A and B are shown apart, each in its own frame.
Chain A
Amino acid sequence: MTGGGIVESFVVPVHPHTVLAPEQNDGWGKLRQAYDDAAQIIKDSKADLLIIYSTTWPSIIDHQLISDPNPEWVMVDHDFHELGSIHYSLNIDAQFAAMWNNENHARGLQSRCVNYRGFPIDVGSVVALTLLNPDNKIPAVIVSSNVYADRSETTVLAKACKELVRKTGRRAVAITAMSLSNRMFTEHINPEDDRIHSLKDDEWNRKILEFLEAGRLEDVGQLSRTIQQQIRVQKVVNFKPMWWLSAMNDNRNNLTGKVLAYEAIHGAGCAVVNLNPAQSGFGNKEYDEDDVEVYSGERGVLDTTKPAEIESSEGPALWDPTEAEGSVNTKSAPKPVGAYPHARKVGDLIYLSGVGPRQPKTNEIPGGPIHDSDGNALDYDIRAQTQAVIDNIARILEEAGSSINNVLDVTSFLIDMDRDFQGYNEVWAETLGKVGPTRTTLAIRALPTPIAVEMKVIASI
C-alpha cells in the first residue's frame, strides 16, 4: 500500500503556562521541557502531518475542522489572561481537512470545515502547535470535541481520519490536547504553591499514566467513563480524547508508551505522554466495545426522513450478508445484492465475494454511477471507483483479521475495457500493485448495480 500511518501519538496539556510562564514554577518548566522533547521526537519521526483533537474546542453542531490555511490572531486565555498573549500563525493542511470532512460524511458523521478570518483557535491547539511545531514546518489539522458525541461517533471520527492518512500516504502524528484530572483551584494561587488539586486526583492520574507507560491505550479508553466520573469536572467536555486517540491507534493495548512529564497546572493533572506504534511486550487489544465503522446514531434532528441507511430504490434489492461457518461480514462494507457473505474463511485463506465501489451505509458510488435510473449513460470516474473498491476490500480483510497486504489473487471485472483500463491500472499500480498479487482482468457486459468495476479476491489470513 502507500505506507501512510500514525507514526507517533501524544497526550499534551492545554494551559498557556508552558508557553508563557515555564520559569515561574518548576513543574511548569518540566512540562515545557517535555513539550520540547516531544517536538524533537516528532522532528525525528519525519512526520508530515500533525492531527490535533482538542478538548478546549467544544462544538455543538457536528465536529468542526479548521480549514483556514493560515489562521493568525492573538490568543488570550479566559482565566489566565494575566500571563500574557500568544500570537499564532499556523500552518494548516486545508486540503486534508476538506478530505477528512468528506470522509466523515461518507461515514454518517456530521462535520464541517471552518475557514473564517479571526476564528478563535482554542487555547489547547494554540499551545500544542506553538510548542510541538515551533518553526511551523509541519502542516496540521485541528478537530473540535463535540459535546454530544459518544464513543461510537468519536471512534468513527478517528477511523475516517486514519483511513485518509492511509490513503494519502501521510506520516501523521495524532495529538490529544487535554488535561488528565481537570479540577483546578478555584482561587488564585502563587505559582510556587501549585500542586495536583487532591490526592485522589493524583492517584487516578498516576494510574492512567501507568497504563499509558505500558502502552495500554485502549484500556484507558475503556476506563474513560469511569475517569470522567472520578476526576473530571462534569459538563466541561466528556473524557473523550482517549477514545479518539485509541481509535487512531487501532484500539491497541500493546503500544510503546513513555511519560515525558507529569505535573500540575493550577491544580489540574497535566502530562506529556508519547505513544509509539511499535509493539511492546503486552498483549494485544481486548476490545470489547462496538467496533463501528459508520455512525448511525441520532443526528438528523431536523430531517423528516432518515438520512442514513439509504436503501436504494433503483437497481437490485440489498440484502443482509448471510451467516455460515467461516463467514466474515462487516457493516463497513456495502450490503450484498444477494444471499451471500462478504467473505468466507477456509483454512488459512479468505475468499471475498465480488467487491464493488458502493459505499457502506449510503450506497453512494464514488466517481458517480455509470448510468441514471432511466439507463442514460453518465460520465464517471474509474479511478475513484477503483480506489473505492480497494478500500472496501481492505475493510473486509481487516474485519477478518487480515489486511490488504495479504491479498494473493485478484480477478477484476470492467464493463468498458477500452475506456477504463488505463485509469483502473493506474490506481492498481499505486495500491495493490505494490502488494503484488496475481491478477486477471476481464471485460464483461454489465454488473448488477451501476458500477464500472468489481474485484474478486483471495487472501491469506
Chain B
Amino acid sequence: MILNILTVLGVTVLGTVLSSVISVLPALHAYNVLGALVLLFYWLIEKGLTVPSEVFLPFMAGIVVGWSMLNTIPSILLGAPDESAMFTVLPGQKYLMSGRGYEGTMITGVGGLAGVFFLVCVVGPFAPRVLPVVQGVLRSHMHWILWVIITYILMSEWPKGGNWGPAGLAKFADAWRSLGAGLATFFLSGFLGFILLYRSPVSVEMAFQNIMPAFVGLFAIPWCLLNMISGANVPPQRIAHSLEINGDLILRSAAAGGLGGGFAAFFPVVTGGIGGLLAGHATAQRDEKVFIMSQGVSKLVYYVGSFTLLFVPGLGITRGGAAWMMKGLYVPRSYYDYFMVLGSIAIAGAAAFLMMSPLTRMTIRFIEKVNYRNASAIALLIILGIVFLMTGWGGIIVMVVATGIGLIPVLFASRRLNCLGVLLLPIACNMSGFGQKIAMWLRLI
C-alpha cells in the first residue's frame, strides 16, 4: 500500500516535470507527447511487458495537469498561444508589454491551482452522483447544443469599426469588415476541417496527429509571424513581490473559469477557449485580473476535467485527446482509479505551481537576452520542425493552408476563436447526421 502511494507520488511528479519541458516549447502540445507515450506503452505490451495502472495513470495525469498550468508561460511571454489560451493572451500580452509578464503568468498559475481545487474538492466528490444524471438527459441533445454554441459564437462578435464618420454604407462596410472576416474565417476553417476529416493529406500512420498541423497553422504561426513583422520590443520585466489578489478574486475567477472549463470539458468538441468566452459573457466580467485568472482556471478545468471524466464511475463518456488515447490503453473500472487520478491531479497541481515561478523567471531571462523578434523566429523554427517530424510534408501543406486562414483574424482584427470552425463545423454536421452529404457535395467522398 505504502509502496503504491510512493509510486503514485513519484510518477506524478515525474510526469509533471516532463510536462514543464513540453510546456515551454511553443506548439508542442501535451497530446503530442501523450500520443508518443501511448505508442511506447503499446510497444511494451507487444513485447510482453505490462506497465501497472499505478504508473501510467498518475504519469499521464501529471503531464496533463503540468502542461495545462505551465503552458501559460509561453502563451504570455513568448506569444505562441494554444487555442485555449486565446483569451489569456490579450490581457496577458498587455501585462507583458507593461513589464508585468511575471505577474500575468503567476496570476494565471494561481487560476490553475484554483482549478485543481475546484476539480478535486468541489466537482470530484459529487461527479459520480450528478454527472451520470446530466449525461443521461443530455445524451441525445449534444448535437443541437453544439449548433446553438456555433450560432452564438457567430452572432456575438462585436463590430470593431464603423465608430466614426457620417452614417451610410461606408460606415456600415467599415464595421462589417471585421465581422465579415470573422465569418469567412469560420467557414474557411470549417472547410479545412472537412478536408482533414474526409481526405487528409496527413499519412494514415500519423492520423492521430491529423488536426495538430491545422491548429499550429491557425493559432501559433500567425502569432509568431505577427511578432516578427511588428518587431515589438518587450520592455524590461519586473518580478512582482505580491500579485495583489485576494480570496474573493480567486473565488470569482474559480466560479467563472470552472463553469467555462467544466462546460467545455463535458460537451464534445467545445474547447476551453469557447468555454472561457461563454463563461466570461455569462458572468459579465470586467476586472482584468479576474479575467486572466479565470482563463487559468478554465484552461485547467477543461484539459484536466475532460481527462478525469473518463474515470468518473457510472458516467462512461470520453472527452478530450488524453482520454481517447488512454481509453485505447486502459479502461478504468472502479473508484480506486478515480480517486487515484484525483489524488494525482492534486499532487501534480501543487508540483506544477511550485515550478511556475522559476520557469517564468527563466523564460523572462531568455526573452531579455534574446531579441523578441529572434525568439519568435526560433519558436517558428521549432514549430516547423515538430510539425514536419510528426506529420511530414502532408502536415506542412495543411499547416501552410491553415496559416493563411489563421492570418485573416490577425489582419482584420476579428475574433481568432472563429478558427475553431475547423472542428466545430464538420463535427456538428456529422453529429446532426448530414456531414457525409456535405462531404459528398464538396466532392471529398
Task: Answer yes or no: are A and B bound together in one complex.
Answer: no
Interface residues, chain B, CB within 8 Å of chain A? none
Binding site for B on A (CB under 8 A): none
